[in-house]
């Protein structure tokens, strides 16, 4: 088996739960780190499925899953994007960062002191790829699962997801720009999230207790003791420690 050159860290959860913000901060905190966005694998608008009379951007059918799996395989062995892939997602705004500059600086200092000079991440033998995606771990995305070294999952409430999503201007797409039509969260985003992730929660209730055996089976990491309305600063520290623990194993 060819030696891995990139460790791929999945960061998933409902749309507008803080995934992209977390990924961008972790990219700044860890050395030799870059982000891959699931949104860069959307199909062309003409090929999207529809639901409730609306285009459905929030389902597996909207994603080029085989192309995404191929790109992850390439990244794993080359520590870089495939030549054909150009990210559009970083052109999208995510709003004001809820984590203070001082907290980010303190975490960066802690991470720097935790990674020795001879670690593969510092020597360039290994990179971190942060995979930011709204739909990574359900069975509908099984072709990408072999390439995920760490699976981080963030939760949120319906109220917070709806508020954040509806505050956004829109999204850069292959064709240009997309803005959610009225009612999109209630008709598409939240129902799809529940449908795809109910298996992770007791009684399928995505705002309450996780189903621990389901998480353990798929090796999905969640922040213990954090409710659906969690604080991103504490989540950032937790996620950084999850990555650090895995990096220590890679040095052995």
Q: How far apart are the first and last CA of the chain?
A: 18
Residue position matching structure tokens 């969690």? 230
Among 39, 58, 132, 180, the active-site one is 39
Q: How far apart are CA 233 and CA 123, in angstroms?
A: 29
Known active-site residue 47: no
Q: What is the dihedral of CA 104, 105, 108, 112, to 10 degrees?
A: -170
H runs (alpha helix) in the chain: 19-29, 65-78, 101-114, 120-123, 158-167, 184, 190-197, 212-218, 232-251
Q: What are phi and psi of 85, to 5 degrees?
A: -95, 125
Q: Write out the catalytic residue numbers.
A: 39
């Amino acid at each position: 088996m060819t030696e891995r050159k990139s460790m791929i860290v999945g960061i998933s959860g409902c749309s507008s739960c803080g995934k992209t913000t977390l990924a961008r901060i972790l990219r700044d905190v860890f050395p030799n780190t870059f982000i891959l966005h699931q949104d860069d694998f959307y199909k062309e608008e003409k090929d999207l499925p529809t639901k409730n009379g609306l285009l459905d951007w929030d389902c597996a059918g909207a994603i080029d899953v085989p192309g995404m799996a191929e790109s992850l395989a390439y990244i794993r062995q080359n520590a870089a994007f495939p030549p054909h892939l150009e990210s559009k997602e970083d052109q999208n705004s995510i709003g004001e960062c809820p984590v203070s500059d001082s907290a980010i600086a303190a975490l960066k200092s802690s991470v720097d002191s935790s990674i020795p000079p001879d670690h593969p991440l510092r020597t360039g033998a290994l990179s971190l790829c942060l995979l930011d995606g709204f739909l990574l771990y359900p069975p509908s995305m099984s072709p990408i699962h072999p390439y995920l070294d760490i699976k981080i999952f963030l939760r949120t409430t319906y109220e917070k997801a709806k508020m954040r999503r509806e505050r956004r201007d829109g999204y850069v797409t292959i064709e240009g720009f997309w803005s959610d039509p009225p009612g999109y969260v209630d008709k598409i985003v939240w129902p799809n999230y529940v449908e795809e992730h109910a298996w992770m929660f007791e009684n399928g209730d995505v705002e309450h207790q996780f189903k621990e055996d389901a998480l353990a089976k798929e090796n999905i990491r969640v922040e213990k003791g954090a409710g659906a309305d969690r604080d991103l600063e504490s989540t950032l520290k937790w996620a950084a420690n999850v990555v650090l623990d895995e990096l220590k194993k890679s040095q052995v």
